[in-house]
Structure 1
Amino acid sequence: MKSKIENQKSEMDKAVHPPCGGCCTRLSGFGVSIGSNTILKDINLHVHCGELTAIIGPNGAGKTTLLRAMIGEIPHRGELHFVHSDGSSFGKPRIGYVPQKLDIDKTSPVSVLDLFSSLNSKFPLWLGHVPADRRSSIEMLKMVEAEEYIDMKLSQLSCGQMQRVMLALALSPTPDLLLLDEPIAGVDRTGIEVFYRIVSRMRHEFDLSIFLISHDISDVANFADRMLLLNRSIVCDGTPAHVLSSPETKQIFGVDFSSAGAGSKNEKPFVERHNCPTCGNCIGHDSDNPFDGFDKLTTSKLRAGRSQRTDGRRQQ
């Protein structure tokens, strides 16, 4: 008997979009208001497959609100669409989400396997675990190098271990867009390096678009292709080197981060520049924009990545 996870993958195979030729996730006129208080306004951008976009900004800038609105947890204005390279809309993207933290009762006996089974099994947890659920859960955890946590209690996990467990859950079914809300908060240096290594591998293997909120600006500058400075609206958008050396960043934070951006490996984005027929002159494609987006790339890497991901799913 198939587990719920296996059934989800089977259903997902039927909905897989074609191999990537420059697909993107587009936000148009995105905004959030609570009563008369405007939290976010005029968010217009798109993120291409395989691109890691870091979101930075002061406290209260609306960073977490943006992610929560994207997953539908908060009412919002505007639209969120996944768009094919030919300009046709695929509808809303599949989204994986890792929140800042998961509050766990320290006295709870719930294990990692219990968590996965409760979310993915068609049977009540009190009936016990079926072998198929255990196998599926282990395979999910292997993606994030966390299979050894399968029988550990959630209350025993460190911050870094918990984030990897949550990441495994967010990657099933494989999303088009992965949202990470301060995933390394409270994680030690070794855990940070492991987490970024895993995320980097995931986006290469699955051609994921990733939004990552971080207050650790120096670290994230070394991994991001693109950076957004958010303060209720997009204040600055570009490579980490551009954003961190901008006067807007210095004005908001009162700190000169230019050395953090200028020395990063991502002065040139991982997602090389290419024609994008899906979105015209939106943010990131205007020739006057310092990001000067996506005007010269052959998309063979992205197309191969998306095709490999699609073929892999269909063989499951």
Structure 2
Amino acid sequence: MSIEQQKKIRHSGGTKACGFHCIKVKNFGVKIGNDTIIRDVNLHIHCGQLTTIIGKNGAGKTTLMKALLNEIKHEGYIEFKDIKKNTMSDLRIGYVPQHLNIPKNTPTSVYDLFASYISGIPVFLWKSKRVEEKIKQQLSRFKAEELIDKAVCDLSGGELQRVLLSLATYQSPNLLILDEPVSGMDHNGMELFYDNIDFLKREYDLAVILISHDLEYVARYSDRVVLLNQTIIREGTPKEVFNSPEFKETFGKIQYLEEHEK
């Protein structure tokens, strides 16, 4: 398949699921005191696809993400099935946060950050050639190997996202969760980020969930879109969701989607 054909498939929301794995989010709900934050959230997430969750502020997007990561108490469960072996398996999740809070002038390098993650212990006082080669190999998948000795606090937004993607995919997760990862990034950085996500979809047996408010990029790059307002009020291809009454009631008329469809 040519690069142009791949782009057409990617932009049309027509990426075909590989079928190796089946991830189902079943009956997710979160209550804080007497307040219901999300309720009855059910999702079928395919590997090889980018599923984007959208909604107004306060719709429950961040709460759903934290529940998926098991960071907050919630109802429901995630079912993960290996289709090839027809067995239920443990789900491995990678996560890329919106921000990484590292104070300016902190001397932590990309190597330090990555090596600490790999070994589970502080590594500021030693450096292993073997570990360094592993890190460079992983960083190279996102064209970030030249950043290995750079201080994390000095990375640009695009550079940091490439490092965090390398880190999140190091242990070959089945599901990658991205929390507004392009917030504050310029146009070129955003294009490179989505190209990296496209690479992950094509080359790995990986399902991707993106939390986003950048509706233009959601329309261009997503395979599936989920519109959330405490519960799922609409889901489908970008065209199906963006043209739905539920979307128009939530966001109004979106001109650039019409232009994208031409």
Kept in 2: contact 1:25–1:80 (CA 8 A): yes
The total of aligned residue pairs comes to 245
In 2, the alpha carbon distance for the partners of 1:211 and 1:131 equals 34
The answer to which structure has the higher strand fraction is: 2
Q: Secondary structure of the residue that 2:213 maps to in structure 1?
A: coil
Structure 1 residue 264, shift from structure 2 partner: 4.9
TM-score (norm 2): 0.88
* Structure 2 residue identity aligned to 1:263: H
In 2, the alpha carbon distance for the partners of 1:182 and 1:200 equals 16
Kept in 2: contact 1:24–1:84 (CA 8 A): yes
User: Which residue of structure 2 lines up, in the alignment, with residue 171 of structure 1?
Assistant: 169
Q: Which of 77, 80, 83 is equivalent to 1:82? A: 80
In 1, the alpha carbon distance for the partners of 2:190 and 2:235 equals 25
Q: Secondary structure of the residue that 2:138 maps to in structure 1?
A: helix
Any gaps of 5 or more consecutive residues in structure 2?
1-17
Aligned residue runs from structure 1 range 168-207, under 5 A:
168-207=166-205
Residues 247/80 of structure 1: CA separation in 2 closer, same or farther (3 Å cut): same
Q: Secondary structure of the residue that 2:235 maps to in structure 1?
A: strand
* Structure 2 residue identity aligned to 1:114: D
Kept in 2: contact 1:170–1:178 (CA 8 A): yes
In 1, the alpha carbon distance for the partners of 2:121 and 2:66 equals 30
TM-score (norm 1): 0.73
Is it true that 1:41 corresponds to 2:42 in the alignment? no
Q: Which of 212, 224, 227 is equivalent to 2:210? A: 212
User: Which residue of structure 1 lines up, in the alignment, with residue 260 of structure 2?
Assistant: 263
In 2, the alpha carbon distance for the partners of 1:140 and 1:65 equals 30
Q: Secondary structure of the residue that 1:242 maps to in structure 2?
A: helix
In 2, the alpha carbon distance for the partners of 1:104 and 1:127 equals 19
User: Which residue of structure 2 lines up, in the alignment, with residue 51 of structure 1?
Assistant: 49
User: Which residue of structure 1 lines up, in the alignment, with residue 229 of structure 2?
Assistant: 231
Encode CA deviations 1:232-272: one digit per residue, 9 max, x unaligned: 1101001000101111111112x21275167359xxxxxxx
Percent of aligned pairs with the same residue?
A: 45
* Structure 2 residue identity aligned to 1:256: K
Kept in 2: contact 1:242–1:261 (CA 8 A): no
Provide the alpha-carbon RMSD of the alignment.
1.9
Aligned residue runs from structure 1 range 235-254, under 5 A:
235-253=233-251
In 2, the alpha carbon distance for the partners of 1:48 and 1:234 equals 17
In 1, the alpha carbon distance for the partners of 2:208 and 2:120 equals 30
Kept in 1: contact 2:20–2:205 (CA 8 A): no
Residues 122/53 of structure 1: CA separation in 2 closer, same or farther (3 Å cut): closer
Kept in 1: contact 2:112–2:124 (CA 8 A): no
Any gaps of 5 or more consecutive residues in structure 1?
1-19, 266-316
Q: Secondary structure of the residue that 1:68 maps to in structure 2?
A: helix
* Structure 1 residue identity aligned to 2:144: A
Q: Secondary structure of the residue that 1:41 maps to in structure 2?
A: strand
* Structure 1 residue identity aligned to 2:92: R
* Structure 1 residue identity aligned to 2:176: L
* Structure 1 residue identity aligned to 2:254: F
User: Which residue of structure 2 lines up, in the alignment, with residue 160 of structure 1?
Assistant: 158
Kept in 2: contact 1:121–1:133 (CA 8 A): no
Residues 245/217 of structure 1: CA separation in 2 closer, same or farther (3 Å cut): same
Kept in 1: contact 2:179–2:211 (CA 8 A): yes
Residues 140/88 of structure 1: CA separation in 2 closer, same or farther (3 Å cut): same
Structure 1 segments (4+ residues) deviating >6 Å: none
